[in-house]
Amino acid sequence: MSTTENPDLVDTAVQPPVRETAGGRRATGTLFADGPATLRADSVSAWFGDHKVLDRVSLTMPAREVTALIGPSGCGKSTFLRILNRMHELIGTASLAGRVLLDEEDIYDRGRRITHARRQIGMVFQKPNPFPAMSIYDNVLAGLKLNAIKATRDGKDDLVEECLTKAGLWKEVRDRLRQPGGALSGGQQQRLCIARSLAVRPRVLLMDEPCSALDPTSTRRIEETIAELKSEVTIVIVTHNMQQAARVSDTCAFFLASHGTPGVIVEHGDTDAMFNAPRDERTSDYVNGRFG
């Protein structure tokens, strides 16, 4: 199965030169620095053919924080999210301008391999997409297998347990790791996708409405997982749920496209301030449900 058919694996691709310890942890001399990174968009514009969908969007997404992207449908949030790990360019008619900096290194620099960005900046999609016939255990390790990263059996076992634990799923599946990932509930499948992304040690994790298809109990568990992960990986989440944005995020950016114009950021900043004392009347109207 190709990576273009499975974008979640494209996002978590790893370069073969990365050396792993027996436990799956990176050794010294790796290609990438460890730990959460600050992600910064600098005057990003985007087009599909001649249609401009984003106009000079600049935003800093701080390390060890959750940044929520909010706004009505069609304002460019998901497009912006895909630009952050070079998925936008998979679309034949797509183009963009501006820079995306991971700890001040532009992921779009000429000569920088696309898989470098997608290794460091993972993604979880709106619809859970584990490999349905592949076991839970093998789903977690899929990104490593795709890139021929070798680990001992004990190392794989440790990595699977660690990632499933971080994704809040270990206690629920530890006795059935060899069962198909497709047999899990929707909420469990989404947490399995999070575990799969974590297995290749991203520095940033993008989430595109990860709870939109889930029941309230599963949504709560995903939100708990986000809170537990943010000290280890920078998180950027697109959500239409204002209560969720208020609960999970530290900072927030409000996108808006009106009257056929491209999407822009109207306001961004501390989440509490955005919801309780926004500077722009349009922000107040949106977060209070008066439009959108």
Rounded mean pLDDT, 108-129: 87
User: How many C-alpha atoms does 176 have within 13 Å on its Cβ side?
Assistant: 11
Sign of CA dihedral 69, 73, 76, 79: positive
Between CA 243 and CA 289, with CA 283 as vertex, the angle to 5 degrees is 50
Residue 24 has pLDDT above 60, yes or no: no
User: 122 pairs with which residues across the strands?
Assistant: 205
Residue 193 has pLDDT above 80, yes or no: yes
Residue range 261-282, pLDDT digits in tens: 999 999 999 999 999 999 999 9
Superfamily grouping for domain 7-287: P-loop containing nucleotide triphosphate hydrolases (3.40.50.300)
Is 181 buried (19+), middle (13-18) or exposed (0-12) by CB count in 10 A?
buried
Residue 31 has pLDDT above 50, yes or no: no
Which parts of 78-215 are beta strand (E)?
A: 94-102, 105-106, 121-124, 204-208
Phi, psi of 130 (to 5 degrees): -70, 160
Task: Tell me what percent of the residues of the chain surpass a pLDDT of 70.
Answer: 87
Contact 253, 263 (CB under 8 A): no
Residue range 62-84, pLDDT digits in tens: 999 999 999 999 999 999 999 99
Residue 190 has pLDDT above 90, yes or no: yes
Residue 135 has pLDDT above 70, yes or no: yes
pLDDT in the model for residue 13: 33
Which parts of 133-232 are beta strand (E)?
A: 204-208
pLDDT in the model for residue 30: 33
Phi, psi of 206 (to 5 degrees): -95, 140
User: How many C-alpha atoms does 221 have within 13 Å on its Cβ side?
Assistant: 21
3-state helix, strand, coil in the chain (%, to 5): 35, 25, 40
Q: Is 267 helix (H, G, I), strand (E, B) or coil?
A: strand
Task: Tell me what percent of the residues of the chain surpass a pLDDT of 90.
Answer: 72
pTM: 0.85
Domain extents for the chain?
7-287
Query: Residue 27 and residue 249: Cα distance in Å, rounded?
Result: 32
**Higher model confidence: residue 234 or residue 148?**
234
Across the chain, mean pLDDT equals 86
Rounded mean pLDDT, 23-38: 52
Place of tokens 């989430």: 207
